[in-house]
Structure 1
């Protein structure tokens, strides 16, 4: 008789995202439509706070940050003490759909432990 698989044991841990305050909230809505766990700065009362507060929240909650703020990339160049940063320069003016598609690729391809301390450009996921 074939051995049945325990689906819970097979489920891999998935990336959870935190969107900084400059990201269109529609990105979170669309990610949730794909059953992705995501928080926004508005939802967790992080509007107008220093970037380090976002990093501390993401670290505490086990989340990868998605941002269009270059300050996060500067921080990441000096420290790997974060759970991952996905960056898309504001100058690229990506649509909500492009951002969601890139984050879906990352979510499907990477495990949380692979993102820890790593900074990825969204364009890498879209190419």
Structure 2
């Protein structure tokens, strides 16, 4: 069995999502905790890849970087219209899927 997933939430994902996931036993790192506020998207991808974190973002630029072939340890793209509850439920489900199937190079849409 794979290690549990850790989601790396970008600055636009509400902290309530992090709190909800943590309350459900999902490991989460916020940009502020990682001291990565203000970093470029490429730097976030590199940091997350080195740590084995799955990036969670509303930012389309991450999709562009994936299409350009940047290596990564996983991305979950979340449309802005998703509610906090939808994000928590969807990410919780993906955490279970990722444990069984791995995350490297995967892009999921919530």
Using the TM superposition, name which of 59-68 and 72-81 deviates more.
Answer: 72-81
Answering whether residue 56 of structure 2 is matched by residue 28 of structure 1, we say: no
2:102 equivalent to 1:114: yes
Higher relative contact order, structure no. (Cα contacts within 8 Å, ≥ 6 residues apart): 2
Aligned to 1:7: none
Matches within 5 A, 1:50-89: 50-79=40-69, 81-89=71-79
Decide which structure has the larger Cα Rg and report it. 1
Moved beyond 6 Å, runs of 4+: none
TM-score of the two chains, using structure 1 as the length reference: 0.80
Structure 1 residues not aligned, in runs of 5+:
1-10, 123-127
Report the number of matched residues.
Answer: 110
C-alpha RMSD over aligned residues: 1.6
Q: 1:100/1:27 Cα in 2 relative to 1: closer, same or farther (>3 Å)?
A: same
**Structure 2, gaps ≥5 residues long:** none
The corresponding residue for 2:38 is 48
**1:53 Cα shift?**
1.3
Taking structure 1 as reference, are residues 94 and 82 closer, same or farther at Cα in structure 2, changes over 3 Å only? same
**TM-score of the superposed pair, with normalisation by structure 2:** 0.91
